[in-house]
Structure 1
Amino acid sequence: MTLYARFAAHLNLALDALVLAGDLPAGLERRAITVEPPRDPSHGDLATNAAMVLAKPAGTNPRALAEKLVAELEKLDEVAAVSVAGPGFINLTLHEDSWRGEVAAILEAGADYGRSSLGAGTTVNVEYVSANPTGPMHMGHCRGAVVGDALASLLEYVGHKVIREYYVNDAGGQVDVLARSAHLRYREALGETIEIPEGLYPGDYLKPVGAQLAADYGDKYVDAPESEWLALFRKTAVATMLVMIKDDLALLGIHHDLFSSEAELQAAGKPEQAEAWLRERGLVYDGVLEAPKGETPEDWEPVELPLFRSTQFGDDQDRPIKKSNGQWTYFGADLAYHFQKAQSADQLIDIWGADHAGTVKRIVAAVQALTDGKTRFDVKLVQMVRLLRAGEPVKMSKRAGNFVTLADVVREVGKDVVRFTMLTRKADAQMDFDFAKVLETSKENPVFYVQYAHARVASVHRRAAEAGISLDEDADLSLLDARELGVAKLAAQFPRVVEAAASAREPHRIAFYLYDLAAEFHALYNMGNDSADRRFLMVEQPALTRARLFLGRSIQQVIRNGLALMGVEAVEEM
């Protein structure tokens, strides 16, 4: 059990003691109680809001309750001092041996330090990327891919069962455009000179598709009417694009458990099933939409459509699930898709581009309706990434037609740089990706700075071994002083940072934390530049070297665990 978890348990036992003593009523809700570092380190090592949370429902004064809690917490051997601050916050100062023990606990737990049972085995479906299967992945898809994949790893780490899903939008008009674009490339492969008109996909990535179609069918479909080849070319082109998309994602270390087809969803009658389910509950009705703003009666022809009562769930208007021609609207198909997902998961998370912000309210309403409000559903919006090279916008890719491919970027700067950088800002904040800056070897580059901390420990480890200092002997952690234990205190926060990031669905918190931890470690290490007695490697004092290197290895372990959640390698040398 980690230190923060242990003290949360101590606090619960203290509260139980107050219940037995009659100082607190039984059955009070404790979920809002926290054990965390105080905002001001001078106030102690830990702080809890227990008295503030429980005083009102207990019908007592928070400071008076805090004083009773202090009397219980003072009995703990690990506690050096306890005090009440302000209206009822409790601050605790621990004996230094508690932190030395946590340094040892980090290395003992290894890759499992920070892992928890918060998720209690509940199943979470994380749908991410889900780009239209019309071409290679571009950097517009990259950020959502990394955020989704890191979030999935984070949720698994805290005990959830996770389904990584990609929704293939292969039933809309964009795949017909893809098929027509492939037909042009097919004709080109047969020797025809072509011009790609506006509205079709111009990228060279469709040339191999055209060549394959030419090899398979010869000139059979050159002059054939579209009705004879459209479905065939669509199926072939989509299948080829999906192979390309999976290959691109693999460059980032991303693999999905499930690829769900919109076309198959519709062929299986899932939208009809969802509509019937909602009609039975009075949540879909046949009605007429209001005329769009600015339209006159002469311009607007009212049509009766099946409408979902999304206003009942906070939306600003009811939404059609079918078009006037009988086809499903995008919302209608999406509604059915989420209905399908909810049948195999307890919680749903969608990672969407920020351009879909306008549809969030309606799909949240739909999921609430389809699951009777029992399924937690989060939509995380991801802003686009602006590509720069030394501050100047990057030119588009000729091969792709009108964008920079993810594959080109990964091959230039590496998977780890791309993945870490995508998590250095909150997902819904704008991001610049400058090829020059992400490769800098400086503190200003978080990727380098964190990996360098890990590599630095490995370097000291190698040099200590070369100097003949045995690292197999037990380290005397009593040699670590307050400054060194200060870094240990930050390392000990990793488990609670992990749980908070998972609960908030915000994997970028791991990147922020790792940068802070790396900064603290580098500051400690660099003290040796000014004072020889602060160096990690002191050949004439092997016991002190072992203690400091033990601390360094615990910091290294936390960094390695955090980087693993982000899908980034912890390098041994740079």
Structure 2
Amino acid sequence: MNIFADFTGRIIKIVEGLEIKSKDGGSLDLSRIAVEPPRDSSHGDLATNAAMVLSKPAGQNPRALAEMIVAELAKDPDVVRAEVAGPGFVNLKLAERFWQSLLSGILVEGQDFGRTTLGQARKVNVEYVSANPTGPMHVGHCRGAVVGDTLANMLAFVGYDVTKEYYINDAGAQIDVLGRSVLLRYREALGEDIGEIPPGLYPGDYLVPVGQSLAKQYGRDLLQKPEDEALAIAKDRAIEAMMVIIREDLALLNVHHEVFFSERALHADGARRIRSAINDLTLAGHVYKGTLPPPKGEKPVDWEDREQTLFRSTEVGDDLDRPLIKSDGSFTYFAADVAYMADKIARGFEQTIFVLGADHGGYVKRMEALGRALSADRLEVTILLCNLVKLFRDGEPVRMSKRSGEFVTLRDVVEEVGRDAIRFMMLYRKSDAPLDFDFAKVTEQSKDNPVFYVQYASARCHSVFRQAREQFPGREFDRETLRKSVEKLDDEGELTLIKKLAEYPRLVASAAQAHEPHRLAFYLYDLASAFHAHWNRGTENVSLRFVKVNDAELTEARLGLVQAVCDVVTSGLTLIGADAPTEMR
């Protein structure tokens, strides 16, 4: 149960019962009423802005309106105290039995606590990573992979119909460079001394096996073929090999896409799909022939001082119109984006989310404008930008990998610190803020290492159950048994933990809808801190320990609390894509 949504509903019902009207006698807009945790927990358990947002349209004094709401809330058996604060906020203190009942409900729902139908099965496409298939994944791709994957998991958890997608950039100049790099390795595999890799080609050793596979299949035959034919064969083989590597690298990070969409498919059959998408834009009045003024500063690669076919994107929110077809009749790179967006719309998506690197800031307005134009404003386009990740080891920068020849690979990082540390720490800053990742800090076992601290909470939960089974051999600690004793939980520390658990449904829903998965990592750390703090109280005060050797029923009640903490920690870590360990060594 989302208690904040629950009490929002109760307060709306109260306002409706008071029959408060707007100044013109009409109905009030109650959608702005919100219930949240108070900033200071000493003020109560919940706070609402109802009187503040309704007072002006109702033409009433906010404190007077708040007093009316408080008088009705006092009749609610779950409310032990309701009072007006400041200019008209209302603070609520809830009964112990309410929190005990909530804990009982969590034990019923288990790891589904917080799962909702909020998204109403709305079709959402989340595209992330989408690295050029020119080599193994590097650490620069890692953050977008984790942000996109976790966001997709959270959206599915709150009721959206989510598709995880990878756009393969397998067309364009970088693929020609890849093909030439592979042909060089092919000649090397035939025994030629190729010397140093020329500037502009990919130098990494990961292309050596691709060259060897071509040599094994074709012998010296490729040397006899026309250059364009040999290059086409090399490109196909290289893309296939690189996508195998990329899929393997992503799997190490527990990232698995459902759709791999090839850009080359858009250029196939005479670029039929690109032409069709541009024709749709044209019929909708969004395309014209014209010229663009010279840009200020550095000229983009697709700017021409000649008449081109242009997308009238400024009329749908962009900063400038965008070229689609150059003066020589060739398509711009953006033309493929038009066809790709049209394909997403044709697949029935109501929202598409792109998770891109910070260097793609210029894509935001043009892609939003494109979505509006192609869908008649029905498609919601969201672009999340992920800032840079800087690698350190004991405070010293980590620069490159031997395997890649030019960058640190994702595989290198996973093999050194583990998947869970990477996934958690990539979320421990908001995605558009720079992130420093220190190998030493993310592997130390201390409170200063968030992923260890959260996973340690999971392991501690399981250790409590192992201790309880040792103290009470043969006793069943199933969920139904634990639920029967929850009314025995009345210690302030125990209630504080239940209140922290109660925040989870609201947290997941709001973070998913705001596209801010970092909030989940922060919440899990706070929950772990509350759990460890209560554990430490039991170390100092024997009466507060989870396992009471002379009181089986109180032990069962406290085990119910431990089970609920375990459920939420496991649920949250699963959404992040990390494990919830049963023990730690």
Instruction: Sort the TM-score into its range (normalised by shorter chain).
Output: over 0.9
Offset of 1:494 from its aligned partner?
Answer: 0.3
d(CA) in 1 for partners of 2:307, 2:224: 40
Q: Is the 8 A contact 2:103 2:486 kept in 1?
A: no
Alignment partner, residue 197 of structure 1: 198
Alignment of 1:62-81 (within 5 A): 62-81=62-81
C-alpha distance 210-551 of structure 1, shift in aligned 2 (>3 A): same
Offset of 1:251 from its aligned partner?
Answer: 0.9
Of the three residues 485, 492, 497, the one matched with 1:475 is: 485
Of the three residues 309, 319, 332, the one matched with 1:316 is: 319
C-alpha distance 549-308 of structure 1, shift in aligned 2 (>3 A): same
C-alpha distance 76-221 of structure 1, shift in aligned 2 (>3 A): same
Alignment of 1:91-490 (within 5 A): 91-195=91-195, 196-267=197-268, 269-293=272-296, 302-343=305-346, 344-468=348-472, 470=475, 471-472=477-478, 473=481, 474-490=484-500
Deviations, residues 176-216 of structure 1 (Å, cap 9, x unaligned): 11111110111111111113110001111111111111122
d(CA) in 1 for partners of 2:418, 2:178: 30
d(CA) in 1 for partners of 2:60, 2:224: 86
Offset of 1:19 from its aligned partner?
Answer: 3.2
Q: Is the 8 A contact 1:457 1:552 kept in 2?
A: yes
Aligned length: 571
Deviations, residues 493-542 of structure 1 (Å, cap 9, x unaligned): 00000111011001110000000111111111111232222322332333
SS in 2 for 1:149: helix
1:28 matched to 2:28? The reply is yes
Amino acid at match of 2:125: N
- Bigger drift between 360-369 and 555-564 goes to 360-369
Deviations, residues 210-231 of structure 1 (Å, cap 9, x unaligned): 1111122111112543212122
d(CA) in 1 for partners of 2:216, 2:25: 79
- Bigger drift between 461-470 and 472-481 goes to 472-481
Deviations, residues 421-443 of structure 1 (Å, cap 9, x unaligned): 11111111111111111101000
Q: Is the 8 A contact 1:2 1:105 kept in 2?
A: no
SS in 2 for 1:321: strand
Offset of 1:69 from its aligned partner?
Answer: 2.1
Amino acid at match of 1:211: Q
Amino acid at match of 1:319: R
- Bigger drift between 74-83 and 511-520 goes to 74-83
SS in 2 for 1:403: coil
d(CA) in 1 for partners of 2:32, 2:24: 16
d(CA) in 2 for partners of 1:167, 1:294: 30
- Bigger drift between 502-511 and 56-65 goes to 56-65
d(CA) in 2 for partners of 1:359, 1:22: 44
Alignment partner, residue 530 of structure 1: 540
Q: Is the 8 A contact 1:476 1:543 kept in 2?
A: no
Amino acid at match of 1:218: G
Offset of 1:24 from its aligned partner?
Answer: 11
d(CA) in 2 for partners of 1:455, 1:350: 36
Deviations, residues 22-72 of structure 1 (Å, cap 9, x unaligned): 999665333322111111112211111122223333343333332222232
- Bigger drift between 66-75 and 25-34 goes to 25-34
SS in 1 for 2:121: coil
Amino acid at match of 1:339: A
d(CA) in 2 for partners of 1:180, 1:391: 39
Structure 1: runs of 5 or more not aligned: none
SS in 2 for 1:290: coil
Alignment partner, residue 11 of structure 1: 11
d(CA) in 1 for partners of 2:417, 2:297: 50
Q: Is the 8 A contact 2:317 2:368 kept in 1?
A: no
Amino acid at match of 1:510: L
C-alpha distance 21-422 of structure 1, shift in aligned 2 (>3 A): closer
- Bigger drift between 74-83 and 528-537 goes to 528-537
d(CA) in 2 for partners of 1:301, 1:259: 33
d(CA) in 2 for partners of 1:96, 1:24: 42
Aligned sequence identity (%): 54
Q: Is the 8 A contact 1:480 1:547 kept in 2?
A: no
Q: TM-score, normalised by structure 2?
A: 0.93
d(CA) in 2 for partners of 1:403, 1:322: 35
Amino acid at match of 2:255: I
Q: Is the 8 A contact 1:388 1:433 kept in 2?
A: yes
d(CA) in 1 for partners of 2:46, 2:40: 10
- Bigger drift between 235-244 and 468-477 goes to 468-477
d(CA) in 1 for partners of 2:396, 2:515: 33
d(CA) in 1 for partners of 2:52, 2:22: 18
Amino acid at match of 1:489: K
C-alpha distance 479-125 of structure 1, shift in aligned 2 (>3 A): closer
C-alpha distance 159-541 of structure 1, shift in aligned 2 (>3 A): same
d(CA) in 2 for partners of 1:4, 1:48: 9
- Bigger drift between 306-315 and 100-109 goes to 306-315
Amino acid at match of 2:14: A
C-alpha distance 20-33 of structure 1, shift in aligned 2 (>3 A): closer
Of the three residues 495, 500, 511, the one matched with 2:510 is: 500
Q: TM-score, normalised by structure 1?
A: 0.95
SS in 1 for 2:70: helix
Offset of 1:11 from its aligned partner?
Answer: 2.0
- Bigger drift between 393-402 and 531-540 goes to 531-540
Computed over aligned residues only, the root mean square deviation of the Cα atoms, in angstroms, reads: 2.1
Offset of 1:476 from its aligned partner?
Answer: 4.4
Of the three residues 554, 563, 566, the one matched with 1:544 is: 554
Q: Is the 8 A contact 2:178 2:201 kept in 1?
A: yes
d(CA) in 1 for partners of 2:252, 2:570: 21
Structure 2: runs of 5 or more not aligned: none
Alignment partner, residue 88 of structure 2: 88
d(CA) in 1 for partners of 2:522, 2:24: 39
Amino acid at match of 2:305: P
Offset of 1:544 from its aligned partner?
Answer: 2.8
SS in 1 for 2:411: helix
